[in-house]
Structure 1
Amino acid sequence: MCISKKTCPVPFDQQPLNEYFSLKTSWFFSWSTLDNHEYIKQIFSIFCFFFILFIPFVLSIVSNYSFFQILILDTFVVNIVLILIFIRLYLGWSYIIKRLVSAIVFYEESGWYDGQIWIKSTESLTKDRLIGLYEVTPFIKRIQSSLMILLLSVILENSLYFLIK
């Protein structure tokens, strides 16, 4: 999938298509590319891991609260951590789609001081835009939906916590 050096002066690791494949196969970003069932299962397993991990933390902070309040507080903390994870996922994928859809690619040959600009060929631009629109956009929309659900659950948990209190 590498473009020849004659056609594209951009180093291999900085070519938008190669950045996409690199992100798609990385351990952190790859689970956002799973099908819906596996994606939800992965989020649930991450939630359970952090829920168990943060129970001692929440118990050390609060002591005179009911079991239900501690559960809500722990869920609140876990959802905040999940929101941070999803923000990182969103930023990574939005960077990639920006590079794929853009007709101009900024790259560095050997360091920050010698940046160059490459204007994509029509063929390369078409291929990159198709991949960006049909493969990356669904990941971004799914991450945005997950973020909205998490934000709503944080608001709900916050309201529920103060109702119980």
Structure 2
Amino acid sequence: MCISKKTCPVPFDQQPLNEYFSLKTSWFFSWSTLNNYEYVKKIVSIFCFLFTLFMPFVLSIISNYSFPQILILDTFIVNIVLILIFIRLYLGWSYIIKRLVSATIFYEESGWYDGQIWIKSTESLTKDRLIGLYEVTPFIKRIQSSLIILLLSIILENLLYYLIK
């Protein structure tokens, strides 16, 4: 999928399509490309892992609270960590989609001091925009939905925590 050097002076690793493929195959970003069942399964497994990881920490800090309050507090901490994970996912995919749909590409030839701008050809612009709109946009929408659900769960946890208190 590499564009030849004659038509594109951008280095291989900085071409938007190659950045997309490397992000799609990376360990961290690849699970946002899974089907819905596998995606939810991955989130639940990460949640369970973080929940058990933070439980001793919460128990060591808070000793005079009731068990439901401790569970809610642990869930709150895990949701904060999950929000940070989803923000990182969102930032990575939004960077890629901006480079895919943009008509110009900023790139560095050998270092930070010699940046150049390349104007995409019509063919590569069309291909990049199609990939951006039809492949990357669903990932971003899914991550946004997950962030909204996590934020709503944090609000619910706060309400539950103060109702139990």
- The TM-score, its normalising length taken from structure 1, stands at 0.99
Determine helix, strand or coil for the equivalent of 2:53: helix
Deviations 1:25-76 (A, max 9, x none): 0000000000000000000000000000000111111110111110000000
Q: Which amino acid aligns with 2:82?
A: L
For residues 149 and 60 of structure 1, the distance between their equivalents in structure 2, rounded to whole angstroms, comes to 29
Q: Hey, what does 2:38 align to over in structure 1?
A: 38
Deviation of 1:102 after TM superposition, in Å, equals 0.1
Give the superposed CA RMSD.
0.4
Q: SS in structure 2 opposite 1:106?
A: strand
Distance in structure 1 (CA, Å) of the matches to 2:103 and 2:60: 53
* Residue of structure 1 equivalent to 2:155: 155
> SS of the counterpart of 1:28?
helix
Deviation at 1:109, TM superposition (A): 0.4
Matched letter for residue 24 of structure 2: K
In the aligned structure 2, how far is the partner of 1:112 from the partner of 1:158?
46
Task: Name the counterpart of 2:116.
Answer: 116
Q: Partners of 1:162 and 1:62 in 2: how far apart?
A: 16
SS in 1 for 2:27: coil
CA distance in 1, matches of 2:40, 2:139: 13
Whether 1:89 aligns to 2:95 is no
Note the residue ranges of structure 2 that are not aligned, 5 or more in a row. none
Alignment match, 2:15: 15
Structure 1 distance, partners of 2:82, 2:140, is: 16
1:55-98: per-residue Cα shift (whole Å, max 9, x none)?
01111111101111100000000000000000000000000000
Helix, strand or coil at the partner of 1:158: helix
Aligned sequence identity (%): 90
CA positional deviation for 1:144 = 0.1
What amino acid does structure 2 have at the position aligned with 1:157? E
In structure 1, what residue type is equivalent to 2:54?
A: F
1:26 paired residue number = 26
* Structure 1 residue runs of 4 or more that deviate by more than 3 Å after TM superposition: none
2:73 aligned partner = 73
- State the one-letter code of the partner of 2:38: E
Flag structure 1 segments of 5+ consecutive residues without an equivalent: none
TM-score in terms of structure 2 length:
0.99
**Distance in 2 separating the partners of 1:78 and 1:164:** 19
C-alpha distance after superposition, 1:98-148 (max 9, x if no partner): 000000000000110000000000000000000000000000000000000
- Kindly state the Cα deviation for residue 159 of structure 1 after the two structures are TM-superposed: 1.1
3-state DSSP of counterpart to 1:29: helix
